[in-house]
Structures are given as structure tokens and as C-alpha cells.
Amino acid sequence: MRRAIDVRDLRYAYPDGTVALHDVTLQVEPGECVGLLGPNGSGKSTLIRHLNGILPERLTEVGGGVAVMGETITRDNIGQIRRQLGLMFQDADDQLFCATVREDVAFGPQQLGLTPGEVADRVQRALEEVGLVELGHRPPHHLSTGEKRRACLAGVLACEPSILVLDEPTSGLDPRGRRELIALLRQVRATKLIATHDLELVVELCPRSVVLDAGRVVADGPTHQILDDEALMLAHGLERPHILQHRHPH
Ligand code: ADP
């Protein structure tokens, strides 16, 4: 079976010379939900930006390091890759720029060459999925942080990607917004890779986790095993989630 995501020996330095990724290798199978953990600056966002070709800056530099659904990303197939892999950024304001939520959600599907009717159907389904039908007419900047996140998610879901990559989906949300988003993500059937500091989210949604530190994969395995490894967690600036503190070791 084709791997959903296949990153091999990926190395990346920003133009200023900062080496953000050192030989990162990571495979995600179709249907998996994988947590991507690591302290600030460990390379999570940089890695995510390689998965749909935002990085490197010049696609000609991609040397077979990243494949999505069996296709190595090249300049020629980048459009196709972006249809399959939807990316949700941490900062909703980067992703919402239209006059209304509905227009924002329609933006992605409109790029896919669908008929206006198909676009409208997808927008309606996506708004229903995230519970924002009532707010479709609102300007996105009038929404709460949680609603903005859900609007972004609707925009990604409306493109019907088979893989969903999320950068810090729960950061800045209040407890209710967080619960709603976790419940929503649980229902989404796509393959998921979730970069987050929210270890409770990881426990709830991701059977497997990968830990990055200083641009290197330092652990990859069952989430419970990783979170129970106190020495590993401390060594990489992570903290065992409170909900696991009182549990007996398996
Ligand atoms: P994370 O998402 O885990 O916080 P990042 O991928 O944002 O980590 O950062 C990885 C490393 O790359 C850090 O050392 C960071 O300072 C550096 N970095 C991130 N963006 C840039 C940039 N635009 N230019 C130079 N260095 C950057």
C-alpha cells in the first residue's frame, strides 16, 4: 500500500543558514493519526511546510525527500499534492482573508475546478461538519478564536483531502473550544498528522507519536509508551500530561 506520508532523510536549512531539519525520516500510513511533538524550535512547522511544498522556497531543491500518497513532490505535481494533503496553520488569521466565512470556505474548492453547484455543496457540508452554518455570513475577523479555527478547518475539509496536517490546532483555545475541536477532529476520517504541545489531545486522538528535537526525530512509537518515558520527556522539554499522572503503568 502507498504510504500517506513518506519523508526520508530530509535536511533543510533556512536561507540565513539555520539548519532546521537534520535527516528527518518519518512515515505515516493511510488512516493513521500521528502526534508530532517537540519543544519550540524543534522543527515541527518546518517539517509540516515541506509536506505540501511551501518549503523549500525553490521546489527544484526537493531531492526525493518527501512523498505524499506515493508521489515524490516536484514542481509539476505540487497542485495534485495540495489536493490530497490539507494543511491547517496555527494562526487562523493567515488562512482567513475573505469578506465572509462562507467565501473563505469556498476559496479552496473554487481552485479545484469544480462547478459552482459542487462548490456550494462542499461549503455547506463543511460548515455543517464544523457547526458554523449559522455564522457563514459573518466576517471571519468577527469570530472567536475557536470559531476561527473551525472556519479554517472547514476550508481545509471542503477540499476533501485524504491527509490532514494540523499545526497546533488547540493553541489559544478556551477549554470548551478545545473540547469541541478535539471532538471534531476525532470525527474527521482523513489520515492525520498533528503538531502540538497539547499532550492530552495526543493521548485522546493519536495512537502513535513522533518526537522532534533540534531538527531530529528522537522518538517514534506508541503514544502511551512515549509519554510514560519520563526521562525521554524531560530530555526533550516535554511534560507528562496530568491525566496520565495517576494511571498505573501498562
Ligand atoms: P517548531 O515548529 O517546532 O517550533 P520551527 O520549525 O518553527 O519549530 O523552527 C525550527 C528552527 O528553524 C528553529 O531554530 C527556528 O528558529 C528556525 N526557523 C524557523 N523559521 C525560520 C526562518 N524563517 N528563518 C530562519 N530560521 C527559522
What is the domain range of residue 100? 32-42+76-247
Rounded CA separation 33/108 (Å): 23
Name the percent of the chain lying above pLDDT 90. Answer: 78
| Within a domain: 215 | yes
| Within a domain: 5 | no
Cβ of 90 below 6 Å from ligand 1: no
Cβ of 20 below 6 Å from ligand 1: yes
| Within a domain: 118 | yes
Domains in the chain: how many in total? 1
Of all protein residues, the one whose alpha carbon is nearest to atom 21 of ligand 1 is: 14
Give tens-digit pLDDT for 188-212: 999 999 999 999 999 999 999 999 9
**Which range, 16-20, 170-174, 217-221, has the best average confidence (pLDDT)?**
217-221
Pairing relation of β-strands 5-13 and 66-68? antiparallel
User: Average pLDDT of 233-248?
Assistant: 75
| Within a domain: 202 | yes
Cβ of 37 below 6 Å from ligand 1: no
Rounded CA separation 77/126 (Å): 26
Atom number of ligand 1 nearest to Cα 16: 25
pLDDT value, residue 242: 67
| Within a domain: 233 | yes
Rounded CA separation 198/242 (Å): 11
Name the percent of the chain lying above pLDDT 70. Answer: 94
Cβ of 50 below 6 Å from ligand 1: no
- Which one-letter amino acid corresponds to residue 82? R
C-alpha cell at 210: 513522533
CATH assignment at residue 224:
3.40.50.300
Give tens-digit pLDDT for 51-92: 988 888 775 555 448 999 999 998 889 889 999 999 999 887
The strand pairing partners of 33, in sequence order, are 192
Rounded CA separation 228/226 (Å): 5
CA distances from 83 to 10, 67, 80 (A): 22, 14, 5
| Within a domain: 167 | yes
Pairing relation of β-strands 191-195 and 163-167? parallel
| Within a domain: 231 | yes
| Within a domain: 226 | yes
C-alpha cell at 143: 469570530
pLDDT value, residue 250: 47
Long-range CB contacts (within 8 A, 24+) of 11-15:
11/65, 12/46, 12/50, 12/55, 12/56, 14/46, 15/57
pLDDT value, residue 7: 96
